[in-house]
Structure 1
Amino acid sequence: MSQAGANERGRIRIELWRLVLPVLWFGMVAAISFIEAPLKFQAPGITIPLGLGIGRLVFAALNVAEGLTLLALTILSFWPAAFRIAGARVMVWFGLVAVYAVKIAFVRPPLNARTDQVLQGADPGQSPWHYVYIACDGITMLLLVVAAVLAARALLPAKQLVPSKA
């Protein structure tokens, strides 16, 4: 086996993971944030405190899974020296890191504090933090689509990326 062939197989393997991880992450966010979260409050017998308690657990698990996926993407993006990303892919990665950091450091704490108040029987009123979290998830999903498209394009031979002159 030639070195060039081995390098190409390694590149393809890494690009496949760079495609799979954003698609997996997209699915997690879509399923939890946009399907499970709103639907759980429509289930019979679910009270606001019970739904918030479940939501806290589910979103904590989602955030851990997102962090691990981001870590894996980071390793795949920068560690294999021969297959490092550049250009738009670096910008997408920075965007994912920034949005994740904002969610964890600035959005989750006030949401958790509000959940604590509701669980203690208080009525803290309306809060914009749920909408900020939803916006962060929307931005994350958009960035993940871009990351997946860029990874998919990197898997195509260069001749397929150039339109033919028909």
Structure 2
Amino acid sequence: MEIRLSNALPALYFIWTGLILGVSFIATPLKFLAPHLTLPVALEVGQVTLHFFNYIEWGLIVLAILFSFAGRFSVWKWGMLVSIFLALSLQTFWLFPELDVRTELVMAGQPRNPDNLHGIFIIIEFFKAVMVFIGGCTIRERKSVKG
């Protein structure tokens, strides 16, 4: 059986989906349920975790772009990749800086203005997870079999 580089893209998308679910929707919220972990410490751990994961996601999007050149994909499928890129960009360049300011205020015991930034982050993260999963499902090419 010959495995082509273009077949690596669906695998990358499925691994990425698992990482998003594990980091953003399991580990990150669960730390706030730990009874002996203070809010400032939980926020600091979350901040470090999500920023590190953001670096990993930039590496994954670069790999996805490179793998996408190995196969024939429709405009729709490239559009999906662009939408994932835009979601990641919004998080990195808009939401993370804004949420960092809020986190620093809470960790310093300062009052903060109520806003919907965390909700927006969650919506974008959910959108990104769905798009990455759909990418893994739809960008599947037939493997060629050599007899």
> TM-score normalized by structure 2?
0.90
Query: What is aligned with 1:50?
Result: 41
Unaligned runs of 5+ in 2: none
Shift of 1:45: 0.8
> For residues 112 and 15 of structure 2, what CA distance do their matches in structure 1 show?
35
What is the 5 A alignment of 1:1-166?
9=2, 12-78=3-69, 80=70, 83-152=71-140, 154-155=141-142
Shift of 1:125: 4.5
> For residues 31 and 143 of structure 2, what CA distance do their matches in structure 1 show?
41
Identity of aligned residues (%): 22
> For residues 114 and 38 of structure 2, what CA distance do their matches in structure 1 show?
17
Equivalenced residues, count: 144
Letter in 2 for 1:155: R
> TM-score normalized by structure 1?
0.80
Shift of 1:156: 6.2
SS in 2 for 1:139: helix
- CA-atom RMSD, angstroms? 1.8
> For residues 88 and 142 of structure 2, what CA distance do their matches in structure 1 show?
27
Shift of 1:87: 2.3
> For residues 156 and 16 of structure 1, what CA distance do their matches in structure 2 show?
7
- State the structure with bigger RCO (CA 8 A, min sep 6), 1 or 2: 2
Letter in 1 for 2:90: V
Letter in 1 for 2:77: R
Letter in 2 for 1:138: F
In our comparison, the structure showing a higher alpha carbon Rg is 1
- Write out the 4+ residue segments of structure 1 that deviate beyond 6 Å after TM superposition: none
